Amino acid sequence: MTDLKLYSMPSSGNSYKVRLLLALLQRSFTHVALEEGSDALVRVHEEGWLPFGKLPVLELGDGTRVPESNAILCYLANGTALLPDDPVRRAHAQAWMFWEQNQHEGVIAVRASLRSYPSRAHEATPDRMADLLSRGHEILGVMEDRLQEAAWLTGDQPTVADVSLYAYTHTADSRGGYDLQRFPAIRAWLQRMTEQPGYVGLDHVPG
Amino acid sequence: MTDLKLYSMPSSGNSYKVRLLLALLQRSFTHVALEEGSDALVRVHEEGWLPFGKLPVLELGDGTRVPESNAILCYLANGTALLPDDPVRRAHAQAWMFWEQNQHEGVIAVRASLRSYPSRAHEATPDRMADLLSRGHEILGVMEDRLQEAAWLTGDQPTVADVSLYAYTHTADSRGGYDLQRFPAIRAWLQRMTEQPGYVGLDHVPG
């Protein structure tokens, strides 16, 4: 029985996080794809039910909706090895995820967005792009330092923190224009993620 | 026995969140105040152990450190009524907290910072301040809509989500220059928080 419905944006890293976690957990779900700029997404905005006005949103069997990609990850991974049962390890995983939303996403995903969407091209001034580039390399440096000492962000096993950070890091070069050659531990970690049972790429959109 | 040590910045909303939660939980702790621009904070940065380079940081009895204000809140509130045991209510609380770090803090706290710290005055261009003002009022509108239908962000009981959002919202007018008169449900919610047993204000710095 499929009791989960995911509203997600195929091209968005925040949406991809949830699709990747569901694949790793081998959970079945109904997928509602709402691409940026699509008529279907415009209709959803007009209906006015989208919490915080953003995707992804997980809808449970009883119709309850859970917004915010990282909150959805913690909800779905609860009781599995991907959300550590140990309180300190769980706190460390969630610390990485709050940092992702506060620091990483607002720089690395934003630079990728400014390069990708023609509607945002006017915001991509040379000064802003240079600033986002240098700040993004600093942020990647924080991850590199950690991944030089451990295989995964919170230790020797992958958690929701790795799923969360993977989404925008694995396209930091191709979409964001960042130089991942400087970060060998990040590249090895990205490779390890692709080797996890059930792994799916950003382009794998179910349904 | 005091087994907790909190490194916090007295004037920072992110640090205040943790001091407020500890007060509501009536937990004793050792407080290490590290004010912006102080020699003590410079030394801590030089020592290089500050996770993510930011405060607050909670140090446990065995020396383990937990960074990120919202991750600390979830860690400390685990097993108490302030972190809902029900998975869906917990997911909703954490959704508000991720939204806080991704949307609210980067607008409302940033505008307050640009107004407060002389060292940042050159960043406070009229265009930027006007943009942060209108975006902040939209963000406060999201909270207002929710608090028109419930006493607290996740229902009829306060949670870590309320503690988290309270920190920068309660100074949005005095520090950020936002007009809270437009948001009566937010003002009633701010008042309710001050009436919680154990409540302490931003200026109450222990130790």
User: Taking a C-beta distance cutoff of 8 angstroms, is the pair A98, B68 a contact?
Assistant: yes
User: pLDDT class for B1, splitting at 50, 70, 90?
Assistant: very low
A-chain CB neighbours of B67 within 8 Å are 95, 99
- Decide if the complex's ipTM is over 0.95: yes
Structure tokens at B139: 């963000």
Q: Which residue of A has its CA nearest to B103?
A: A102
State how far the Cα of A63 lies from the Cα of A143, in Å rounded to an integer.
Answer: 37
Interacting residues of A190 by C-beta distance below 8 A, sequence separation 6+: A166, A169, A170, A180
DSSP chain B: ----EEEE-TT-HHHHHHHHHHHHTT---EEEE--TT-HHHHHHHHHT--GGG-S-EEE-TTS-EEESHHHHHHHHHTTSTTS-SSHHHHHHHHHHHHHIIIIIIIIIIHHHHHHH-GGGGGG--HHHHHHHHHHHHHHHHHHHHHHHH-SBTTBSS--HHHHHHHHHHTTTTTTT---GGG-HHHHHHHHHHHTSTT---TT----
Across the interface, whether the CB atoms of A98 and B70 are under 8 A apart is answered: yes
Q: Which residue of A has its CA nearest to B142?
A: A52
A-chain CB neighbours of B95 within 8 Å are 51-52, 66-68, 71
Smallest Cβ–Cβ distance between B71 and the set A53, A78, A94 belongs to A94
> How far is the alpha carbon of B143 from chain A, nearest alpha carbon, in Å?
10
How far, in whole angstroms, is CA A66 from its chain's centroid? 16
Across the interface, whether the CB atoms of B97 and A102 are under 8 A apart is answered: no
pLDDT, one tens digit per residue, over B69-127 is: 999 999 999 999 999 999 999 999 999 999 999 999 999 999 999 998 888 889 999 99
Nearest to A10 by CA among A21, A1, A19: A19
User: pLDDT class for B2, splitting at 50, 70, 90?
Assistant: low
How far, in whole angstroms, is CA B170 from its chain's centroid? 10
State how far the Cα of B86 lies from the Cα of B84, in Å rounded to an integer.
Answer: 5
Task: Return per-residue pLDDT of chain A as tens, 207 residues.
Answer: 459 999 999 999 999 999 999 999 999 999 999 998 899 999 999 998 998 999 999 999 999 999 999 999 999 999 999 999 999 999 999 999 999 999 999 999 999 999 988 888 899 999 999 999 999 999 999 999 999 999 999 999 999 999 999 999 999 999 999 999 999 999 999 999 999 999 999 999 886
Chosen from A55, A59, A102 to mutate, greatest number of chain B CBs within 10 A: A102
Positive or negative, the Cα torsion across A7, A10, A13, A18?
positive
pLDDT at res. A1: 46
Across the interface, whether the CB atoms of A78 and B87 are under 8 A apart is answered: yes
User: Taking a C-beta distance cutoff of 8 angstroms, is the pair A165, A100 a contact?
Assistant: yes
Under DSSP, the state recorded for A167 is H
* Numbered residues of chain B with Cβ closer than 8 Å to any chain A Cβ: 51-53, 60, 64, 66-72, 74-75, 78, 87-88, 90-92, 94-95, 97-99, 101-103, 105-106, 142
Nearest to B94 by CA among B36, B5, B145, B160: B160
User: Taking a C-beta distance cutoff of 8 angstroms, is the pair A190, A170 a contact?
Assistant: yes
> How far is the alpha carbon of A48 from chain B, nearest alpha carbon, in Å?
12
pLDDT, one tens digit per residue, over B125-176 is: 999 999 999 999 999 999 999 999 999 999 999 999 999 999 999 999 999 9
Amino acid (one-letter) located at A156: D
**What pTM value is reported for the model?**
0.97
Structure tokens at A116: 């990708």
Residue indicated by tokens 């928080």? B193
State how far the Cα of B206 lies from the Cα of B65, in Å rounded to an integer.
Answer: 20
